C-alpha cells in the first residue's frame, strides 16, 4: 500500500506512517487488496484527508467501518458517491438534520460538500472486505485514527467532534474537552438511531459552538 495523503496532512502524519504497527498494517492491507475484494478502492483509502485540509478543519465526524457493499464506500465516513443509493445510516443523518435545522433532505449522499467546509469524515477503520463488516478491525487502523484524533485535539482549537456509537466514543477518549466541543450519541444505524441519535441536535449545537468562537458555521 502506497500512502498517498494530502500535502496539508503530510508533515503531521509522516512519522505515523513509519511506525512498526503501520508497516504491519500496510503489509496486511496490500495482501488483502491482492487476494480479496476490499472497499473503498485503494486510491480512496485516505480520501477524507484529500477533501478536508488540516488548516480548514472545523468538525470531525467519526464513523466505524467503510460501507461494505459494491460502489458504496468512497473514503469519507457515511458518504457515498453521486448516483449511489443513500444508505440507511445516512438517511437517518439527513432526517436528524431536517428535524434539527428544518432543512430539506438532499437527494445525493455525496458529502464532499461538507468536507469542503472543513468537516473531516473519518472512519475508525479505513478498509473492509466486501460484504464482511468488521473484517479489518484490530489490524492497526484504530491506532492510526486514534493518533489523528490526538493530533487534532493537540494542535487545533475549537473543533467540534461528533462521536456516534461506542467505537467512535472510544477514539474520543484522548480529546481535550476544555478547548473542543465533544458531542456523543447513539449511532445513526437503523439498529440504534432511536436509542439517542434522533433528537441529539448535534448539527445546531455544532454551528452554535463555531459561531461562538467566530468561526463560519457549516451549511449542513
Q: Which residues pair with 39 in a beta bridge?
A: 128
Beta strands in the chain (DSSP E): 38-39, 59-63, 119-123, 128-129, 160-164, 181-185
Please tell me the distance from the alpha carbon of residue 98 to that of residue 104, in angstroms, as a whole number: 6
Cβ contacts of 61 within 8 Å, gap of 6 or more: 77, 78, 119, 120, 121, 122, 162, 164
Please tell me the distance from the alpha carbon of residue 136 to that of residue 65, in angstroms, as a whole number: 8
**Catalytic sites, residue numbers:** 65
**CB neighbours (10 Å) of residue 47?**
23
Q: How far is CA 95 from CA 67, 121, 132, 161, 175, in A?
A: 19, 18, 27, 20, 28
**Three-state secondary-structure class, residue 11:** helix
Amino acid at each position: 500500500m502506497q500512502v498517498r495523503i494530502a500535502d496539508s496532512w503530510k508533515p503531521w502524519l509522516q512519522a505515523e506512517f513509519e511506525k512498526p504497527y503501520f508497516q504491519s498494517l500496510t503489509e496486511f492491507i496490500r495482501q488483502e487488496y491482492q487476494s480479496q475484494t476490499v472497499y473503498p478502492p485503494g486510491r480512496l483509502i485516505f480520501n477524507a484527508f484529500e477533501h478536508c485540509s488540516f488548516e480548514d478543519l472545523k468538525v470531525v465526524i467519526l464513523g466505524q467501518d467503510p460501507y461494505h457493499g459494491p460502489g458504496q464506500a468512497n473514503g469519507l465516513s457515511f458518504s457515498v458517491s453521486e448516483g449511489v443509493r443513500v444508505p440507511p445510516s445516512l438517511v437517518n443523518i439527513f432526517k436528524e438534520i431536517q428535524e434539527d435545522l428544518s432543512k430539506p433532505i438532499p437527494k445525493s449522499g455525496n458529502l464532499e460538500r461538507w468536507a469542503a467546509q472543513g468537516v473531516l469524515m473519518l472512519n475508525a477503520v479505513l478498509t473492509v472486505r466486501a460484504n464482511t463488516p468488521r473484517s479489518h478491525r484490530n489490524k492497526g487502523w484504530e491506532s492510526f485514527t486514534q493518533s489523528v484524533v490526538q493530533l487534532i485535539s493537540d494542535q487545533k482549537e475549537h473543533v467540534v467532534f461528533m462521536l456516534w456509537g461506542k467505537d467512535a466514543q472510544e477514539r474520543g477518549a484522548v480529546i481535550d474537552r476544555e478547548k473542543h466541543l465533544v458531542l456523543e450519541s447513539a449511532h445513526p444505524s437503523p439498529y440504534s438511531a432511536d436509542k439517542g441519535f434522533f433528537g441529539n441536535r448535534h448539527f445546531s449545537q455544532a454551528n452554535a459552538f463555531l459561531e461562538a468562537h467566530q468561526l463560519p458555521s457549516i451549511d449542513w
